[in-house]
A and B are shown apart, each in its own frame.
Chain A
Amino acid sequence: GENVEQHPSTLSVQEGDSAVIKCTYSDSASNYFPWYKQELGKRPQLIIDIRSNVGEKKDQRIAVTLNKTAKHFSLHITETQPEDSAVYFCAAGDSGYSTLTFGKGTMLLVSP
């Protein structure tokens, strides 16, 4: 089955800095890679996703890159703000199946 590794487990940055979270996956059949943000005590919410036919996707301060050859994908947050503080989960899935395999999460702390 799919195995998703996520690093780092915690990340502390100053407001305005950039943050990068990295994930690797094992199953070359995976072709869908969403990122979820989970604020304390709340549900995971999709913030951005990327499919394997795309190498990079950007939405305002958030971008995701995908390297299919190396089987890794990354989340980039620029100009971080305190409200970006949350746990971020990467996930990998195959559009032919319904299972999403999640990484262990990264706790991002943005200090004012």
Chain B
Amino acid sequence: EPEVTQTPSHQVTQMGQEVILRCVPISNHLYFYWYRQILGQKVEFLVSFYNNEISEKSEIFDDQFSVERPDGSNFTLKIRSTKLEDSAMYFCASSEARGGTEAFFGQGTRLTVV
């Protein structure tokens, strides 16, 4: 069964450093997403991406964040100048269509900022 894969599974970084979280969405999917889940809290939408551009973003997704699809398979989330409060599980997801269809989640990258 096809699945969304994310690397690395755990990333530890020093405050102020830049990190890049990587995702390989399901191959025939067209919409890609990043969600964040702070430990013990709900899943929060960050951004959606379609046709090589951001289609929606939340207020959490400020100038510190950027997304990119550098090639035909990878989808990345870059966090510049990380802060302690960026520590969370970051989930990538993809779906066939824009809305009203299942979003498949990756296994997540646990980001720890120290």
Residues of B within 8 A of A100 (CB): 45, 103
Q: Does A68 contact B (CB under 8 A)?
A: no
A98 and B56 within 8 A (CB): yes
Once A43-B106, A43-B107 are accepted as A-B contacts, the answer to whether A98 and B42 lie under 8 Å apart by CB is no
Stretch at the interface among A11-19, A57-65, A73-81, A88-96: A88-96
Task: Classify chain A's interface size.
Answer: 20 to 34
A45 and B42 within 8 A (CB): no
Q: Does B12 contact A (CB under 8 A)?
A: no
Tell me which of B33, B45, B48, B55 contacts A101 (CB under 8 A).
B45
Tell me which of B42, B56, B101, B102 contacts A102 (CB under 8 A).
B42
The residues of A with any CB-CB pair to B shorter than 8 Å are: 31-32, 34, 36, 42-46, 49, 51, 89, 93-105
